[in-house]
Amino acid sequence: MANVTTAQLFEEPFDADEYIERLAWRTPGGGSKGGAEAFDPKKLLEEFVNHIEELKQLDERIQRKVEKLEQQCHREAKEFAHKVQDLQRSNQVAFQHFQELDEHISYVATKVCHLGDQLEGVNTPRQRAVEAQRLMTYFNEFLDGELRSDVFNNPDKIKEAADIIQKLHLIAQELPFDRFSDVKAKIASKYHDLERQLIQEFTAAQRRGEIGRMREVAAVLLHFKGYAHCVDVYIKQCQEGAYMRNDVFEDIAILCQRVNKQVGEVFCSPETVMAKLIQSIFENKIQAHVKEKLDETRNSDVEQYLKNLYDLYTRTTALAAKLTDFNLGSDKHTFLSKLIKNIFSSYLESYIDMERQYLQNRSGMILQRYYDSKNHQKRPVGTGSIQELKERIRQRTNLPLGPSIDTHGETFLSQEVVVNLLQETRHAFERCNKLSDPADLPKNAFSIFLLLVEYLCVDHIDYALEIGLSAIPSADAKNANLYFLDVVQQANTIFHLFDKQFNDHLMPLISSSPKLTECLHKKKEVIEQMEVKLDTGIDRTLNCMIGQMKHILATEQKKTDFKPEDENNVMIQYTTACSKVCAYVSKQVERVRRSMDGKNVDTVLTELGVRFHRLIHEHLQQYSYSSMGGMLAICDVAEYRRSAKDFRVPLVLQLFDTLHALCNLLVVAPDNLKQVCSGEQLTNLDRNLLHAFVQLRVDYRSSRLGRHFS
């Protein structure tokens, strides 16, 4: 067991209960093996005592080992501390040596600089004297008329010759003309000859793609007057074969990207060369392309001209935005804006006039084509005319002042026409936003909006409303076709589209300008004018509906319905007139729901329901009622009330509930009349109204019912 009891047995995770169980299981007679007979507690106790002794011995061994390790650790820590102290002392000594060395180096450097300055002070005048002597030697050759030096005759030394001739050219300009005219002319001739050779060499190197040679020659030419010509030659040659695609703007972008990498390797001021290249491209290639595209359509096809102008301007500004990534100098945005303005200024000045003229012609054509397809000749809708006076009288009195116009169910409203007009206007807004000067943008956008109002709202929607109003028959017309609700439905749909375009395309252009107030005022004015006509038309349509119901009641309702000859032989649930009126009402309610939206549905149905109730109320007061007739009247009103539920308007249902309660007065027993009149539904009604209903009973006089109201 001594070999088994080691420190490894107590490594984590250690479970004391499990350890005791294992020890007991390994002890003969100490576990459950062999049953209760084999269990020997003495052996188990002996094993536990022995094992405890072993654990004590193990603990002592471990404790001795720990003490030994602690002593070793303390000893090594002291040794390490001594080493660190030695290293710190060595580092301090090294730092002192470094400071001394640094001071010595600084002293030597100061001496060297001083010596260099002294040497330069002696050498510079000497070099200048040598250079002056060398130039005087070359000047004498020009003065003698014979260039003997190898530098002027060896093509390989053209760079050295260029440096000399450039300096001689500057010196010659300071000499008096009368004494040195010949030598000045010879130097100038050689100057121009070398300049020409250098440009030719630069051009040849560019064609060969030798960037290093181009850089060398450009550096030499930098001090010559012909340097600008060298740049021009470079720019011209860069563009040779660059425009191979159908897309000029894509070609230009690729060209500029390629040249931008090259100019930095060739020229000492790449931003100037790049700016000159872009200026050349704009003033030549783009301007010619724009002129060709626009001039061919300006007078022949205005629509295509406006599309081309928008496309070309958009692509040019997009190209300019890409070019701002290149180094073009400090004010590259202004530089590019001027280039664009120089190309498009003549076209942009007349843009809005052409846009408005095109929009007028196009909108007029769309409307005329639609009316022609309907074989309709637009009739003038004037103001202050006899026709308008008749229309006003007719609206207010419903008097038949001549026949109404028969439109054969045509609303004269077309969503296709509206979509086309809105699409043309949307394109106009997009072009206006891009092509207008920022200061003129709100004004131009407002002028386009006025055209939309004129052609869409006035010439199309308002005209259709006028025709629709004229087509509404009088209230006493029989079997009238009420197409005005179809006009209302389509007008609402169209105006939603108009309002969406107003918010999506016009508002962003005018939201921060004074024109916003004008636009909102104009829109409000248009809406109010249309709402007046819509309200008028709906009111007259409701009158026609009530008139049709009145006609049904007048023709179908008989006096004998409510005072039958045989009181005991009434088999019907409600009268024929009631059935036909309810069917007509349900049809009209459904029609109103299809034609209106939002709160307008409830508003119109409320008005129709109130008028429907008034009609039935007045209709019932035209008859006398027997007991069975009163029951039939109650059945009719119950059916009317069922139709009133289709309105889904609480007020209408409440009115018919009250009417139903009033009809109960026609059948209630005389002794109970006073009690019914004071019931919940009737107690708040005018007693004269209650009395009027009671007077409709045939037994009013015989039963002396008037005494209940005296």
How far is the C-alpha of 264 from the C-alpha of 195, rounded, in Å? 22
CA-closest candidate to residue 332, choices 258, 264, 278? 278
Which residue would you say has higher pLDDT here, 4 or 299?
A: 299
pLDDT at 473: 84
In total, the chain counts a number of residues equal to: 710
- pLDDT of 710 > 80? The answer is no
pLDDT tens digits along 264-313: 888 888 888 888 889 889 988 899 999 998 988 888 899 999 999 999 99
| 8-state DSSP, 706 | G
Between helix 248-266 and helix 270-280 the angle, nearest 10°, is 160
Q: What is the full DSSP assignment across 139-207?
A: HHHHHHT----HHHH-GGGHHHHHHHHHHHHHHHHTS-HHHHHHHHHHHHHHHHHHHHHHHHHHHHHHH
pLDDT bracket for residue 260 (50, 70, 90): confident
pLDDT bracket for residue 206 (50, 70, 90): confident
pLDDT tens digits along 106-128: 888 888 887 777 777 665 665 65
pLDDT tens digits along 597-609: 888 899 999 999 9
pLDDT tens digits along 517-576: 999 999 999 999 999 999 999 999 999 999 999 999 999 988 888 887 766 655 567 889
Sign of CA dihedral 229, 231, 234, 236: negative
Cβ neighbours of residue 391 under 8 Å, at least 6 residues apart? Answer: 469, 470
Cβ neighbours of residue 472 under 8 Å, at least 6 residues apart? Answer: 404, 482, 484, 537, 540, 541, 544
Alpha-carbon torsion, ordered 633, 637, 639, 644, to 10 deg: 170
pLDDT (average), residues 314-319: 92
Three-class SS state of 444? helix
Tokens representing residue 490 in the block? 């389509």
Tell me the pTM: 0.68
CA-closest candidate to residue 572, choices 636, 619, 627? 636
pLDDT tens digits along 635-683: 999 999 999 999 999 999 999 999 998 888 888 888 888 888 888 778 8
Name residue 625's beta-bridge partners: 697
Angle, CA 330 vertex, CA 326 and CA 336 arms, to 5°? 60
| 8-state DSSP, 268 | S
Assess contact for 694 and 621: CB atoms under 8 A.
Answer: no
| Residue appearing with tokens 């009027």 | 692
pLDDT at 165: 60
pLDDT at 649: 93
Tokens representing residue 399 in the block? 């008097």
Three-class SS state of 423? helix
How far is the C-alpha of 222 from the C-alpha of 476, rounded, in Å? 100
Q: What is the full DSSP assignment across 329-347?
A: -TTHHHHHHHHHHHHHHHH
- CA dist 513 to 383, 436, 447, 504, 558, Å? 34, 15, 14, 16, 69
Class of domain 557-708: mainly alpha
Identity of residue 704: R
pLDDT at 123: 56
pLDDT tens digits along 375-422: 888 777 654 444 555 555 555 554 444 445 556 668 888 899 999 999
Assess contact for 55 and 10: CB atoms under 8 A.
Answer: no
Core vs surface per residue 67-83: b (16+ CB within 10 A) or e: eeeeeeeeeeeeeeeee
pLDDT at 384: 44
Residue spans of the domains in the chain: they are 40-144, 155-301, 379-392+408-549, 557-708
How far is the C-alpha of 464 from the C-alpha of 448, rounded, in Å? 22
CA-closest candidate to residue 355, choices 458, 441, 463, 287? 441
Average confidence score pLDDT of the chain: 82
Tokens representing residue 575 in the block? 């009268």
